[in-house]
Structure 1
């Protein structure tokens, strides 16, 4: 079993050494020793880092990702948390699809200017209300194409 020092691990994973040190400080990964001043890691840390990256890509915070590993560093995924994240991703997708449709409409709108477009006016009103109230609902204009 060849141990990887932090620079080798960084090079093989593309994760900056500073991020690896940060992950270790947060308790997401554990070094198993040192070679001089460099931290050493077991080869299976690469899979653990891949799971951390997957969690980050899925929108989980590092603190949430930390709870997804058991004391031995192996995944201990909560299906309930995963389902909740899927639900949130679906809400994000719905909002992004609605935003895409609205931008497309504004780009193709036959009104002489954007400010004369009724849907654009509606978007502005909804956007200002959302930024003030932080409403998680899909925009109303997305339901009236």
Structure 2
């Protein structure tokens, strides 16, 4: 097995060495030892880093990603968690798409001002409702 120093892993993966050390502290990757003061990794570190990157892109926390890795060399991906995240992403995509369409309409609206545009007024009401919900959710989280 070819061993790779941390600087080479960082260079080839685009993940800074400080992040690699942090991932190791979190148990997401594992060095195989040291060559002098430098950590060394096996080739499998690149697969792990790809899985971490994919998980981060999907919005999983590092703790969730770590739980999916489980113990041993194979990732034990929780299919139910993946399904829940897919539903969540679908909801976010729909919301962002509606927002995009509303903004495009407001940008081209023939009304004399945005405040006179019915579509823009609907966007403002939606934003106000979500803003109030977000504040109440944060308050609830603090008291849990």
TM-score, normalised via structure 2 length: 0.89
Task: Give 1:38 shift.
Answer: 0.8
The match for 2:101 is 101
- 1:86-97 equivalence runs, <5 A: 86-97=86-97
Q: Give the corresponding residue for 2:20.
A: 20
2:124 and 2:87 map into 1 onto residues whose CA distance is: 27
Matched with 1:134 is: 134
Stretches of 4+ moved more than 4 A in 1? none
Q: CA deviation at 1:116?
A: 1.1
- Contact kept in structure 2, 1:48 and 1:74, CA below 8 Å: no
- Correspondence list, 1:1-145, <5 A: 1-134=1-134
Which structure would you say has the larger RCO, counting Cα contacts within 8 Å and 6 or more residues apart? 1
Query: What is the distance in 2 between the residues matched to 1:61 and 1:70?
Result: 15
- With 87-96 and 120-129 compared, the bigger mean Cα shift is at 120-129
Structure 1 residue 133: Cα displacement: 1.2
Do the aligned residues in 1 keep the contact of 2:99 with 2:123 (CA within 8 Å)? no
Which residue of structure 1 lines up, in the alignment, with residue 142 of structure 2?
A: none
TM-score, scaled relative to structure 1: 0.89
Partners in 2 of 1:89 and 1:55 — Cα distance? 13
Q: 1:52-87 CA distances to partner (integer Å, 9 max, x unpaired)?
A: 111111111111100111211421101100000000
Q: Secondary structure of the residue that 1:53 maps to in structure 2?
A: helix
How far off its partner does 1:132 sit?
1.3
Unaligned runs of 5+ in 1: 136-145
Give the structure with the larger helix fraction: 2
Gaps of 5+ in 2: 136-144
Structural RMSD (CA): 1.3
Contact 2:33 2:40 in 1 (8 A): yes
Instruction: Give the number of aligned pairs.
Output: 135
